[in-house]
């Protein structure tokens, strides 16, 4: 079986590539970077530079590889960055997705390949109290450019299933964390600063954003196992939340990481630049549908994820 991952060199892409490789797949991945081979340790995973702006280029790659499964991970994944680069976020997440869907429907594998599209809990945006925990039926009222971009892809998803009969599935993951995640996301932002302080590279103060928000965190290793299970056993045309169902305050994450630190004298400073123009106070997902349809559930505790993230940065710095 051949799997193709767009955006393979990203945080989730790297974990997914390993997972599929371990399951015995022949794994191909695309990246927009020009010198991709230097970036991947496992040489069995074949990386192909792709011009995401060119539908012809995408079509050529699909017809050459003839994947049985496609995982569309490429995109702009930072909510914060989406406020700073609105046009790029909309172009990267919406236009690129349309080009992939167009290429797929014109390709030799249009009738056979399954494609998993990746949305986000940010699509839900502003949620009424009575609609928490959030199910897939909740009305989409995104409150960030990133949320708008992903809500748009879920509408496109429904059209391409109905109109062209493509074998598409749609994942709506809530926050995912784990070793390898870049800075710009909360757990890596905190863990990297703590390790820099431990190593004496940084003064003993950590800069943070909004600590009051509560989010539903899942380890990336659980997320990629949900992705492969969905493609194997999920229903075509369906949208699936991927979440733990347990909210954690950002303050809890910070406190837990500070407790794990070797340095017990770290001062916390709130940084106005790390606050968002708008954000929803609490997201809790409902994972009943994915549990019932494919039997997926989380296996990593948040504490285990945080320990692994801190250790990752201790090795990297």
User: Where along the sequence are the contacts to ligand GDD (CB under 6 A)?
Assistant: 77, 79-80, 120-122, 174-176, 184-186, 189, 208-210, 213, 215, 250, 274, 276, 279
Rounded to a whole number of angstroms, the minimum distance from the CB of residue 130 to ligand GDD is: 21
Nearer CB in complex with ligand GDD: 68/251: 251
Where b means 16+ CB within 10 Å and e means fewer, 139-162 reads ebebbbbbbbbbbbbbebbeebbe
Q: Which is nearer to ligand GDD, 65 or 94 (CB)?
A: 94
Q: Whose Cβ is closer to ligand GDD: residue 59's or residue 309's?
A: 309
- Smaller CB separation from ligand GDD, 68 or 141: 141
> How far is residue 244 from each of residues 119, 268, 287, 298, measured CA to CA in Å?
16, 28, 7, 6
Min dist. Cβ of residue 176 to ligand GDD (A): 6
Q: How far is the CB of 7 from ligand GDD (least distance, A)?
A: 12
Q: What is d(CA 200, CA 269) in angstroms, rounded to the nearest whole number?
A: 18
Structure tokens at 92: 């990267």
Task: Calculate Rg over the CA atoms of the chain.
Answer: 19
CB of 187 to ligand GDD, least distance (A): 7
CB of 270 to ligand GDD, least distance (A): 9
Q: Which tokens belong to 240?
A: 């699936």
Nearer to ligand GDD, 9 or 77 (CB): 77
User: What letter does residue 211 receive in the DSSP assignment?
Assistant: S
Closer CB to ligand GDD, 165 or 184, in the complex = 184
- For residue 102, the tally of other CB atoms under 10 A from its CB is 15
Q: 16, 227 in Cβ contact below 8 A? A: yes
Q: How far is the CB of 191 from ligand GDD (least distance, A)?
A: 11
Q: Backbone phi, then psi, for 128, in 5-degree steps?
A: -75, 150
Cα distance between residue 50 and residue 71, in whole Å? 15
- Which residues, at least 6 apart from 159, have a Cβ–Cβ distance to it below 8 Å? none
């Amino acid at each position: 079986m051949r799997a193709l991952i767009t955006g393979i060199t990203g945080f989730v892409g790297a974990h997914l590539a390993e997972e599929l490789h371990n399951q015995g797949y022949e794994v191909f991945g695309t990246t927009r970077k020009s010198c991709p081979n230097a970036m991947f340790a496992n040489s069995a995973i074949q990386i192909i530079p792709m011009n995401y702006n060119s539908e012809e280029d995408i079509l050529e790659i699909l017809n050459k590889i003839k994947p049985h499964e496609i995982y569309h991970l490429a995109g702009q994944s930072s909510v914060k960055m989406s406020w700073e680069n609105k046009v790029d976020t909309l172009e990267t997440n919406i236009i690129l997705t349309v080009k992939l869907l167009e290429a797929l429907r014109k390709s030799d594998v249009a009738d056979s390949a399954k494609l998993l599209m990746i949305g986000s809990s940010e699509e839900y945006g502003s949620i009424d109290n009575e609609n928490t925990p959030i199910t897939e039926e909740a009305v989409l009222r995104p409150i960030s450019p990133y949320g708008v971009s992903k809500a748009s892809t879920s509408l496109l998803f429904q059209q391409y299933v109905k109109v062209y009969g493509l074998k598409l599935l749609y994942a709506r993951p809530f926050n995912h964390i784990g070793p390898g995640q870049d800075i710009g996301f909360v757990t890596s932002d905190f863990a990297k600063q703590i390790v820099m302080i431990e190593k004496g590279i940084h003064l003993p103060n950590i800069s943070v954003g909004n600590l009051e928000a509560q989010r539903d965190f899942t380890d990336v290793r659980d997320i990629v196992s949900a992705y492969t299970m969905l493609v194997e056993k999920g229903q075509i045309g369906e949208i699936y939340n991927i979440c733990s169902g347990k909210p954690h305050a950002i303050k809890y994450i910070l406190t837990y990481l500070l407790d794990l630190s070797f340095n017990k004298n770290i001062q916390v400073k709130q940084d106005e630049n790390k606050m968002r123009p708008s954000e929803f106070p609490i997201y809790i997902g409902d994972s009943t549908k994915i549990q019932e349809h494919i039997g997926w559930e989380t296996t990593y505790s948040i504490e285990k994820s945080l320990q692994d993230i801190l250790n990752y940065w201790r090795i990297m710095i």
